[in-house]
Amino acid sequence: LLAEQHIRERGNFKVTVLRLPGVLGDGASSIWVIRLIQAAIKNKKLYIYNPNAPFNNAVDIGSLVKFFHALAIGYQDNSHELYLLASSGQLTISQIVEKIIAETNSSSTVEFIEGRNSFTLDCRKATKNGYDPPLLSTIIENQINIELNRPI
């Protein structure tokens, strides 16, 4: 955020900024959803916070690439642009965990812990400019399949 502000205030050039949540797809690693899926596959205890909070903080790598391409083709060097990216649709944290446990046939148990506040992202500006995100449930289903088929 500070770098974006610095460029806006002092830069003599225009930039387009894509703010990304967790990027999911083949090759993705180390984000919360993937760690949760991997723990469920191993039947480990799952630790979550804010179980009733809505969540849409994931993007599919394929949709990201298509949007980046659309921006590059239609690029106009006339203003600073900031796009927030997210999935289409939302699930609660509990719904995500239930989906992961069911689709991995996991015997994991869930423990609720204290954590930071949850938030969702508004990607309407990006969708008006060619971003076409899949539903969060589809992104998670695809990632579960990737993780179930990942070599150990």
pLDDT by residue for the chain (152 residues), tens only, comes to 676 666 667 666 677 889 999 999 998 888 899 999 999 999 999 999 999 999 999 999 999 999 999 888 876 666 678 899 999 999 999 999 999 999 999 999 999 988 778 889 999 999 998 999 999 999 999 999 999 998 87
Q: What is the pLDDT of residue 76?
A: 64
**Contact by Cβ (8 Å): 96, 55:** yes
Q: How far is CA 25 from CA 56, 60, 88, in A?
A: 15, 6, 16
Confirm whether pTM is higher than 0.95: no
Q: What is the pLDDT of residue 114?
A: 82
Q: What is the pLDDT of residue 134?
A: 96
DSSP structural state of residue 81: E
